[in-house]
Amino acid sequence: MSYLNLDSIKARTYDAIVVGTGISGGWAAKELTGKGLKTLVLERGRDVKHNVDYPTTNMQPWEFEHLGQPTLAERQDNPIASKHYIFKEDAMHFVMKDKVHPYVQDKPFDWMRGYQVGGRSLLWARQVQRWSDYDFEGPARDGFAIDWPIRYADLAPWYSYVEKFAGISGNRDGIPQLPDGEFLPALEMTCIEKHFSEQMAKHYKGTRPVIVGRCAHITEPQQIHYDQGRAKCQHRVMCQRGCPFGGYFSTNSSTLPWAMKTGKMTLRPHSVVHSIIYDEKKQRAVGVRVVDANTKEMMEYYAKVIFLNASAINSNLVLLNSTSRRFPNGLGNDSGVLGKFIGFHNYRGRVSADYDGFHDSTTDGRRPTGGYVPRFRNVFKQETDFLRGYATSFNTSKKSNSTAGMVGEELKQSLFAPDRGGWGIGAQMMGETLTKESNFIRLDPILKDDWGIPLLRMSVDFDDNDRKMVQDFYEQFTEMFTKAGFTNIKTADTGRVPGSENHEMGGIRMGHDPKASMLNKWNQLHTVPNVFVTDGGCMVSTATQNPSLTYMAITARAADYAVAEMRKGNL
Could you read off the pLDDT of 472-491 as tens digits, one per residue?
999 999 999 999 999 999 99
Question: Would 225 be classed as within a structural domain?
Answer: yes
pLDDT of 103 > 80? The answer is: yes
The number of domains in the chain is: 1
Question: Would 312 be classed as within a structural domain?
Answer: yes
Question: Would 57 be classed as within a structural domain?
Answer: yes
Q: Is residue 117 within 8 Å of residue 267, measured between CB atoms?
A: yes
Residue 450 has what pLDDT?
Answer: 96
Question: Would 393 be classed as within a structural domain?
Answer: no
Cα separation, 390 vs 470, whole angstroms: 9
At residue 399 the predicted structure's pLDDT band, cuts being 50, 70 and 90, is: confident
Cα separation, 355 vs 523, whole angstroms: 48
Eight-state DSSP code of residue 501: T
Q: What percent of the chain has pLDDT over 90?
A: 91
Q: Where does 269-347 show beta strands of DSSP type E?
A: 271-279, 284-292, 298-308, 340-342, 345-346
SS3 content of the chain, % helix, strand, coil (to 5): 30, 20, 50
For 257-297, the pLDDT digits (tens) are 999 999 999 999 999 999 999 999 999 999 999 999 999 99
The residue type at 490: K
Cα separation, 219 vs 186, whole angstroms: 7
Q: Which domain holds residue 226?
A: 12-169+214-344+433-461+498-567
Residue (of 215, 248, 269) closest to 41 by Cα position: 269
Residue 4 has what pLDDT?
Answer: 55
Cα separation, 428 vs 474, whole angstroms: 10
Question: Would 2 be classed as within a structural domain?
Answer: no
What is the domain-level CATH number for residue 110? 3.50.50.60
Which pTM does this prediction carry? 0.95
Cα separation, 546 vs 403, whole angstroms: 39
For the chain, what is the radius of gyration of the CA atoms? 24
Task: Write the Ramachandran bin of 344: left for phi over 0, alpha for psi from -120 to 50, otherwise beta.
Answer: beta
Q: What percent of the chain has pLDDT over 70?
A: 98
Buried b / exposed e along 387-416 (16+ C-beta atoms within 10 A): bbbbbbbbbbebeeeeeeeeeeeeeeeeee
pLDDT of 235 > 80? The answer is: yes
What integer is the mean pLDDT of 300-319?
98
Residue 2 has what pLDDT?
Answer: 53
Residue 411 has what pLDDT?
Answer: 79
The residue type at 436: K
At residue 547 the predicted structure's pLDDT band, cuts being 50, 70 and 90, is: very high
Residue (of 543, 15, 25, 16) closest to 314 by Cα position: 25
Residue 528 has what pLDDT?
Answer: 98
Residue 440 has what pLDDT?
Answer: 98
At residue 1 the predicted structure's pLDDT band, cuts being 50, 70 and 90, is: very low
What integer is the mean pLDDT of 178-186?
98
Question: Would 555 be classed as within a structural domain?
Answer: yes
For 296-309, the pLDDT digits (tens) are 999 999 999 999 99
Residue 400 has what pLDDT?
Answer: 74
Eight-state DSSP code of residue 343: B
- Angstrom distances, CA of residue 321 to CA of 445, 448, 453: 11, 12, 8
Eight-state DSSP code of residue 381: S
What integer is the mean pLDDT of 511-519?
98
Question: Would 468 be classed as within a structural domain?
Answer: no
- Angstrom distances, CA of residue 490 to CA of 257, 391, 424, 475, 478: 46, 19, 11, 11, 8
For 183-226, the pLDDT digits (tens) are 999 999 999 999 999 999 999 999 999 999 999 999 999 999 99
Question: Would 366 be classed as within a structural domain?
Answer: no
User: In the Cβ-directed half-sphere of 29, how many Cα atoms lie within 13 Å?
Assistant: 34
Q: Which residues contact 121 (CB under 8 A, 6 or more apart)?
A: 22, 23, 26, 249, 250, 251, 252
What integer is the mean pLDDT of 350-376?
92
